[in-house]
């Protein structure tokens, strides 16, 4: 049987799939699972690059032992300390007591803080090279992709970058390991969702990291999540470049909250109007039932966002408020924005959404529509004017 975990003669996949966890970071749904990727690099000396989530420590160690046999593990390189990758460090040290743990100063501080390990470590800085004998590992700091300690590791002899979370995606690896062995189509949407949820706040650091790796002649990207990229490197880099520039493509997201259907009818009217004007695609989300990770994915993807909210306890409706906070946290520099809302005795939602847009420095397109009490055709002219203003703005 062909060994799919042998990526080259000297680099081996030893990661695992997780199809059990429901929520990544306790927040983000995993309908297609997720992989925690780790790699063995074998020169005259051996190095394990990253570990896996605590639930899969045993499987990681079995994968490493199977590959190494009686050989020692000389180094454990830690590119990223988030526990989905670092939680098995202590177990690796226990299984291989002589292993030297390689990380930068911030990494080593975190290893002590998380796992109480303070000895047997090697501190590396930008540009340092670890000689494995016949193979080298060079270290490149990429802070905030996605924690401050994060670094990438470059193996020049194999033209391989171990990139940490950069170029990662949700989705378990179904049988294959590389993009040549897998059906990669489901990963593109999952990559956008992963980026928007996990790394979306850090567009500028991702741009700096992309600039750093641009001069490298990369034949293989070994990220911490998702396929090993060989055939699709250009598409992966292009997608990460686009999302980290927060560049929206033509399309509209309409995200609304509604208790009794009145604000929802306004959302339907606006969606119908945009569709009649030829806007494509249009994605409509009821925020009480939507998976917010999908909403964020599409807000990163499309250039127009229309939000609707009832007034609730003198504030925004809570699911709308939660979405706007997530957008603000991710510092999205621009979206074409419009809003509508409703109230029964004292309006607040439209004002709050306008304040949100001011805080984001997004101009509000058109006059926000505010409905008092029940939906009727009387509000439709105002909705149509909102649609006209959006369509006019889209033509610019």
Binding site for ligand FEO (CB under 6 A): 80, 82, 84-85, 146, 165, 224-225
To the nearest whole angstrom, how small is the minimum distance from the Cβ of residue 290 to ligand FEO? 24
Residue 224 or 304 with smaller CB distance to ligand FEO: 224
| DSSP collapsed to 3 states, the chain | CCCCCECCCCEEECCEEECCCCEECCCEECCCCEEECCEEEECCCEEEECCCCHHHHHHHHHHHHHHHCCCCCCEEECCCCCHHHHCCHHHHHHHCCCCEEEECHHHHHHHHHHHCCCCCEEECCCCCEEECCCCEEEEEECCCCCCCCCEEEEEHHHCEEEEECCCCCCCCCCCCCECCCCCCHHHHHHHHHHHHHHHHHHHHHHHHHHHHHCCCCCCEEEECCCCEECCCHHHHHHHHHHHHCCCCEEEEEEEECCCCCHHHHHHHHHHHHHHHCCCCCEEEEECCCCCHHHHHHHHHHEEEEEEEEEEECCEECHHHHHHHHHHHHCCCCCCEEEEEEEECCCCCHHHHHHHHHHHHCCCECCCCEEEECCCCHHHHHHHHHHHHHHHHHHHC
Distance between CA atoms of 396 and 381, rounded to whole angstroms? 23
Distance between CA atoms of 212 and 205, rounded to whole angstroms? 11
To the nearest whole angstrom, how small is the minimum distance from the Cβ of residue 165 to ligand FEO? 4
To the nearest whole angstrom, how small is the minimum distance from the Cβ of residue 36 to ligand FEO? 7
Residue 168 or 319 with smaller CB distance to ligand FEO: 168
To the nearest whole angstrom, how small is the minimum distance from the Cβ of residue 78 to ligand FEO? 12
Exposure of 150 in the CB half-sphere (CA atoms within 13 A)? 23
To the nearest whole angstrom, how small is the minimum distance from the Cβ of residue 232 to ligand FEO? 20
To the nearest whole angstrom, how small is the minimum distance from the Cβ of residue 112 to ligand FEO? 19
To the nearest whole angstrom, how small is the minimum distance from the Cβ of residue 267 to ligand FEO? 34
For residue 313, with 0-12 CB atoms within 10 Å meaning exposed, 13-18 middle and 19 or more buried, which class applies?
A: exposed
To the nearest whole angstrom, how small is the minimum distance from the Cβ of residue 259 to ligand FEO? 37
Residue 18 or 370 with smaller CB distance to ligand FEO: 18
Distance between CA atoms of 168 and 333, rounded to whole angstroms? 23
Residue 84 or 158 with smaller CB distance to ligand FEO: 84
Residue 84 or 179 with smaller CB distance to ligand FEO: 84
Distance between CA atoms of 348 and 315, rounded to whole angstroms? 6
Q: Is the CB of residue 339 less than 8 Å from the CB of residue 348?
A: no
Residue 101 or 305 with smaller CB distance to ligand FEO: 101
To the nearest whole angstrom, how small is the minimum distance from the Cβ of residue 359 to ligand FEO? 27
To the nearest whole angstrom, how small is the minimum distance from the Cβ of residue 163 to ligand FEO? 11
Residue 287 or 296 with smaller CB distance to ligand FEO: 296
Q: Which two tokens stand for residue 191?
A: 């990559």
Residue 199 or 387 with smaller CB distance to ligand FEO: 199
Q: Residue of minimal CB distance from ligand FEO?
A: 82
Residue 224 or 342 with smaller CB distance to ligand FEO: 224
Residue 96 or 139 with smaller CB distance to ligand FEO: 139
């Amino acid at each position: 049987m062909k060994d799919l975990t042998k990526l080259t003669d000297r680099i081996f996949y030893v990661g695992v799939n997780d199809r059990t966890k429901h929520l990544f970071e306790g927040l983000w749904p995993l309908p297609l699972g997720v992989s925690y990727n780790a790699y063995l690099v074998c020169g005259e000396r051996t190095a394990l690059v990253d570990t896996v989530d605590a639930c899969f420590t045993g499987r990681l160690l079995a994968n490493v032992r199977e590959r190494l046999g009686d050989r020692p593990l000389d180094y454990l390189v830690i590119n990223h300390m988030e526990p989905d990758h670092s939680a098995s460090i202590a177990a690796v040290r226990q299984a291989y007591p002589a292993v030297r743990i390689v990380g930068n100063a911030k990494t080593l501080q975190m290893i002590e803080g998380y796992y109480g390990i303070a000895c047997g470590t090697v501190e590396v800085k930008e540009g340092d090279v670890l000689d494995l004998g016949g193979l080298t590992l060079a270290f490149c700091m990429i802070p905030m992709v996605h924690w401050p300690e994060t670094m990438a590791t470059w193996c020049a002899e194999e033209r391989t970058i171990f990139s940490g979370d950069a170029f990662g995606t949700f989705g378990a690896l179904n049988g294959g390991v590389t993009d040549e062995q897998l059906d990669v189509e489901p990963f593109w949407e999952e990559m956008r969702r992963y980026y928007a949820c996990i790394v979306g706040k850090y567009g500028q650091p991702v741009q700096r990291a992309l600039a750093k790796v641009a001069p490298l002649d990369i034949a293989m990207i070994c990220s911490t999540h998702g396929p090993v990229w060989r055939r699709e490197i250009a598409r992966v880099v292009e997608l990460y470049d686009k999302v980290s520039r927060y560049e929206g493509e033509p399309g509209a997201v309409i995200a609304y909250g509604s208790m009794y259907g009145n604000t929802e009818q306004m959302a339907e009217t606006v969606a119908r109007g945009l569709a009649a004007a030829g806007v494509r695609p249009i994605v409509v989300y009821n925020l009480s039932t939507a998976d917010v990770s999908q909403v964020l994915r599409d807000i990163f993807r499309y250039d127009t966002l229309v939000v609707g909210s009832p007034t609730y306890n003198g504030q925004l409706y809570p699911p709308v408020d939660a979405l706007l906070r997530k957008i603000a946290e991710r510092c999205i520099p621009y979206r074409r924005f419009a809003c509508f809302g409703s109230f029964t005795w004292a309006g607040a939602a439209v004002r709050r959404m306008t304040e949100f847009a001011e805080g984001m420095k997004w101009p509000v397109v058109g006059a926000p529509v505010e409905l008092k009490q029940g939906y009727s055709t009387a509000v439709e002219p105002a909705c149509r004017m909102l649609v006209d203003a959006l369509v006019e703005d889209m033509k610019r």
